[in-house]
Structure 1
Amino acid sequence: MQQEVLSKQLDLSALLHDVSNSFKGASLIVNQLIDGAYGYSLEEIRPFLIALRDTNDRGMSLVEANRVSQEAKPVTVAQFDMLSFLQTTYSLFKPIAQYHSLNLHYETQSSYKHGTQVQGDSISIDRMLCNLVTNAIKYTLAGDIFLRLLNQEDDLAIEIEDTGCGIAAEQLSNIFIPLWRAPNSNLLHQSGMGLGLYIALCVAHAHGLKISVNSVAKQGTKFTIIFPYKDDGIYGLDGRMLPKSQRLQDALSI
């Protein structure tokens, strides 16, 4: 019973974490538009208005998805194109990276061995990616962030790499623990709930994906998400979402 109560509390905290991040991003874009950071003509600001709309829609989608889960309705699993999905993610975060004087890059291949179709819950996958990109921006004081879609043999891989502060080797085993925050977070003046990487791990677990991290302190961090190849040429889930793990770190209901 205690485990179930704690799991529900984490679910709510995780939802508030992601909704808060979404609307913070929207507020940041609005303030930049008001200040004329991107110009004043409709043509100049159109891409940023689209990013603002998508950021706002993302927050509402998270709330709606939570309402559906509270009604015990099944999670919607659908097929979508990861290439264009990541393009939207890039467009959403580009003005936020610019605000922090960072360069956000979206790198793709000219072709993919088995295409880029993915099957899964797009809202959950969006949560995973947005948390990883948000963290990359948060812990990079200067330099570049790379969002990549590529093949690793037959598998489809997403890489999110930054040139930020990195993670000390002795801390790597802790980063997916809910509510854990790196000791240098306060030194970097970064606030947070310690839930972003926990959410990313939970989404990866539910979709049967592999998530790994490579990091060097003071040089940067790279997260890699592997979508294993399926015989039907579609990456991701074969059918329904995987059952909820009994482990605390996999306890997020999505």
Structure 2
Amino acid sequence: MERSGSPEAQNIEAELIRMLAQQGRLTLIPLAVALCMVATFAADSLPQWIWGGWLALAMLLLVFRTQIFMRLPYYPALTDHKKLQLASWVSVCNGVVHGMPLLAFNYFSELERAVVTMILMGTSSITVATTAGYKPIILAYTLPTLGLASVVWGLHGWQPVFDWPSVAGALLIICYLPLLIKLAGNGFSIFERSYRERLAQSAVNLQLQSVLEQAESASSAKTRFLASASHDLRQPIHALSLFGTALSKRPLDDEARDIVGHMETALGALASQLDSLLDISKLDAGVVTINRQTFNLLDMAERLQIEFGPAAEEKGLSIWLDCYVDVFVDTDEILFERILRNLLSNAIKYTKAGKIMLSINAEDEVVTVSVVDSGRGIPKAEQQRVFEEFYQLENPERDRRKGLGLGLAIVKRLVKLLNIQFSLYSVPNDGTRVSLTLPISAAAPQAPQLKPKVISSWNNLRILVVDDEMEVGLGMQALLETFGATVDIADSTASALKAALTEKPDILLADFRLRGEDNGIETIRNLRAIYPKLPAILISGDTAPDRLREANEAGIKLLHKPVAAPVLEDAIAVACNLAVTE
């Protein structure tokens, strides 16, 4: 053991004490049985009070030793070194008592002498095993037992007539004793080494835990930053979109209408990139609902081939469809189509010449949908990294026309969400194949749901808009008034209550994040306390996962800024029951 005063030695002593406490109870029954056997031998030739008194004393000390060992860690007044000294003295007492039957050596038969000696050798071996070979305890027990055994066997062999078997027995014990002590030393060395390795492993685990916590903290900080940046960007973009749409509904000359069209196109492109951030946040927040339904993969593939054809042709590429039969699957059609859209978009982006193939291969009870390109391929070292957020191959200049690097990150999350088997095979300069495997459905597809069509009842509609950004409120007012609605504006829950008490609104449009601790959910709850059946919609630019979960748990319809005018119009119509079926 290390120097007693060193911190490492103290730690090893504390660990040894814990081990002695755990092992202490294990030896009680085996040693008790062995002591009873020795007492049985003594009962044939010694008075009852002698062997009975010895057995009672031995049992008492055995129980005492067990209790002391089990309570060693809980003696606050003693240092660890003193606790081990106490354990050694208790072992001395037990060794002396266990060796006492050897004093009646001449009263035993040859067989009984051999059995008693074997019992003492066994108990000594048990002591080595249960104390991790700690030498002070080993010597404290073995010297009064095996040491005395070697002496009595030697004396019996020399007196009165030389007895070679007895002398041989004494020599055997003398040889066994140092061997046992040597083995004890080796055992304790293993114990020390194991303890140091566990300390080292524990230190590594702590470092890994610290690194993991730092990574999680950095990830949370990134999420908060993106959510905050997304919210702050969405506010003015939402206002611009509302004013732009309101402007487009007014009489304009051709040149002005062309300018408005370009403005809306630019805003749409920016909104699309922000929506990619929103998709990541929704998936991380676990608020994306899976709407499983049976649909035809061939119909989806043909639709995507037509949709992505022009983008491919602009680069001199072609999109081939390798499927000629209907194949039905049961999964979320919208989310699955989003996966294929991202994969096709990525394939077109990174392919300079050749073709893109969308294949559907049905075999047995599963179907494999693959997107194969003849592009530059992905190096093996990069094949995991391309699924990370914001990571793009060969875009160090961060050209916004190449996207944000979120497409495959979204694919990775959607594949996991839909429980679809996913594989990627790519060779540099020889293209990439991405495959999705899912079960074939035997059920027929459901009839498509009819889209609601808004009827002309906006002129009687009073809308209360709550947003702490004045420009957003004015933009909403400008747009909604073009539909014919009457619009009131408030910037907080308090001002919304005041406006609602003055004129009852038909629907409430509330921004999620208002000033301070105020928020749209509280606004809706307060107004519904007055008008319990008031329709309400949350509109937010906040994409933080915690906020998304909060809105989802509140069970209120949530739209994300910037909201396209048709989407807003349909949402209000549905909420106010202003819709009929086509």
TM-score range, shorter chain: 0.5 to 0.7
Q: Give the whole-Å Cα distance in 2 for the aligned partners of 1:220 and 1:165.
A: 6
Shift of residue 219, structure 1, vs aligned partner: 1.2
Q: Deviations over 1:112-146 (max 9, x none)?
A: xxx62222222211211111000100000111110
Q: Give the whole-Å Cα distance in 1 for the aligned partners of 2:435 and 2:228.
A: 27
Partner residue in 2 for 1:226: 437
Give the counterpart of 1:127 among 321, 324, 338: 338
Partner residue in 2 for 1:88: 303
TM-score w.r.t. the length of structure 2 is 0.28
Partner residue in 1 for 2:457: none
Give the counterpart of 2:406 among 186, 195, 205: 195
Give the secondary-structure state (helix, strand or coil) at the position aligned to 1:224.
strand
Q: Give the whole-Å Cα distance in 2 for the aligned partners of 1:12 and 1:228.
A: 40
Q: Give the whole-Å Cα distance in 1 for the aligned partners of 2:227 and 2:298.
A: 29
Residue pair 2:373, 2:433 contacting (<8 A) in 1 also? yes
Partner residue in 2 for 1:185: 395
Give the secondary-structure state (helix, strand or coil) at the position aligned to 1:78.
strand
Q: Deviations over 1:74-112 (max 9, x none)?
A: 443322111101111111001111111101111114x4x
Q: Which amino acid aligns with 2:413?
A: C
Give the secondary-structure state (helix, strand or coil) at the position aligned to 2:387.
coil
Judging changes above 3 Å, is the alpha-carbon distance between structure 1 residues 156 and 234 closer, same or farther for their aligned structure 2 residues? farther
More strand by share: 1
Identity of aligned residues (%): 24
After superposition, where does 1:60-99 map in structure 2 within 5 Å?
Answer: 74-99=289-314
Q: Aligned pair 1:107/2:317, yes or no?
A: no
Higher RCO (C-alpha under 8 Å, 6+ residues apart): 1
Q: Give the whole-Å Cα distance in 2 for the aligned partners of 1:12 and 1:122.
A: 31
Partner residue in 2 for 1:204: 415
Q: Give the whole-Å Cα distance in 2 for the aligned partners of 1:13 and 1:148.
A: 39
Judging changes above 3 Å, is the alpha-carbon distance between structure 1 residues 89 and 10 closer, same or farther for their aligned structure 2 residues? farther
Partner residue in 1 for 2:360: 149
Q: Give the whole-Å Cα distance in 2 for the aligned partners of 1:134 and 1:89.
A: 11
Q: Which amino acid aligns with 1:166?
A: G
Shift of residue 234, structure 1, vs aligned partner: 5.6
Give the secondary-structure state (helix, strand or coil) at the position aligned to 1:206.
helix
Residue pair 2:351, 2:374 contacting (<8 A) in 1 also? yes
Judging changes above 3 Å, is the alpha-carbon distance between structure 1 residues 150 and 11 closer, same or farther for their aligned structure 2 residues? farther
Partner residue in 1 for 2:428: 217
Out of 76-85 and 209-218, give the one that drifted further: 76-85
Judging changes above 3 Å, is the alpha-carbon distance between structure 1 residues 135 and 74 closer, same or farther for their aligned structure 2 residues? closer
Judging changes above 3 Å, is the alpha-carbon distance between structure 1 residues 13 and 221 closer, same or farther for their aligned structure 2 residues? farther
After superposition, where does 1:235-254 map in structure 2 within 5 Å?
Answer: none
Q: Aligned pair 1:163/2:374, yes or no?
A: yes
- The aligned length equals 181
Q: Give the whole-Å Cα distance in 2 for the aligned partners of 1:213 and 1:13.
A: 33
C-alpha RMSD of the superposition? 3.8
Judging changes above 3 Å, is the alpha-carbon distance between structure 1 residues 174 and 234 closer, same or farther for their aligned structure 2 residues? farther
Q: Which amino acid aligns with 1:185?
A: N
Shift of residue 160, structure 1, vs aligned partner: 0.4
Q: Which amino acid aligns with 1:99?
A: E
Judging changes above 3 Å, is the alpha-carbon distance between structure 1 residues 215 and 82 closer, same or farther for their aligned structure 2 residues? same
Out of 173-182 and 204-213, give the one that drifted further: 173-182
Q: Give the whole-Å Cα distance in 1 for the aligned partners of 2:227 and 2:315.
A: 30
Judging changes above 3 Å, is the alpha-carbon distance between structure 1 residues 8 and 125 closer, same or farther for their aligned structure 2 residues? farther
More helix by share: 2
Q: Aligned pair 1:175/2:386, yes or no?
A: yes
Q: Which runs of 5+ in 2 are unaligned?
A: 1-215, 234-271, 445-548, 550-582
Judging changes above 3 Å, is the alpha-carbon distance between structure 1 residues 73 and 86 closer, same or farther for their aligned structure 2 residues? closer
Give the secondary-structure state (helix, strand or coil) at the position aligned to 2:435.
strand
Q: Give the whole-Å Cα distance in 1 for the aligned partners of 2:421 and 2:368.
A: 9
Q: Give the whole-Å Cα distance in 2 for the aligned partners of 1:146 and 1:163.
A: 9
Judging changes above 3 Å, is the alpha-carbon distance between structure 1 residues 169 and 135 closer, same or farther for their aligned structure 2 residues? same
Shift of residue 173, structure 1, vs aligned partner: 2.1
Q: Deviations over 1:26-74 (max 9, x none)?
A: xxxxxxxxxxxxxxxxxxxxxxxxxxxxxxxxx7xx89x97xx79x694
Q: Give the whole-Å Cα distance in 1 for the aligned partners of 2:298 and 2:376.
A: 29
Give the secondary-structure state (helix, strand or coil) at the position aligned to 1:211.
strand
Judging changes above 3 Å, is the alpha-carbon distance between structure 1 residues 152 and 140 closer, same or farther for their aligned structure 2 residues? same
Q: Which amino acid aligns with 1:87?
A: E
Question: Larger Cα Rg: Structure 1 or Structure 2?
Answer: 2
Runs of 4+ in 1 over 6 A off after TM superposition: 8-14
Shift of residue 205, structure 1, vs aligned partner: 0.8
